[in-house]
Amino acid sequence: MSTILVDNLTGKTSAGSITVTSEGGAATQSLQQGLAKVWGAFEQSGTQTFYDSFNMASITDLGTGLSQLTMSSIMSNANYASVGCSGEQSGGGNRVMGVRGSAGLTTSSIVFANYALSTGSISDDTRLSASLLGDLA
């Protein structure tokens, strides 16, 4: 087994592009493009806090069911994909979360709105998770 001791990985031909071979060996893909640039698991009810996170600077409570997550290192544009899920840690009904309109998605922060499907009303939840895929600045 081989081990590389390294603090930074930089592409030789293009600094921002390192290619990895697929599991099946039939394709190659950019390492940087496939990495999650930001992720967080957070509490929305009560005082909003992160359970754990990566590249998150802060969380702001914008009202019931609304959370603004601010990144430490910003994205290069607002065209990134945001994926995630929400739900109560113990029981509760079905939930859905999403970006709150185009104004809620910027290079440095993203606003999530969370809803209870049973009522269609905006709702705080105890456990939400999000991951951002895209380009860092």
Residues forming contacts to another protein in the complex (CB under 8 A) are 1-7, 9, 11-13, 19-24, 26-27, 29-31, 33-36, 77, 79-85, 96-102, 104-105, 113, 115, 117, 120, 122, 131, 133-135
Pick 24 or 47: Cβ nearer another protein: 24
Closest approach, Cβ 129 to another protein, in A, equals 9
Burial of 135 (0-12, 13-18, 19+ CB in 10 A): middle
Of the CA atoms within 13 Å of residue 30, those in its CB half-sphere come to: 15
**Rounded to an integer, what distance in angstroms lies between the CA atom of residue 56 and that of residue 58?**
6
User: CB-wise, 50 or 80, nearer to another protein?
Assistant: 80
Residue 22 CA to residue 34 CA, distance in Å, equals 12
Nearer to another protein, 48 or 114 (CB): 114
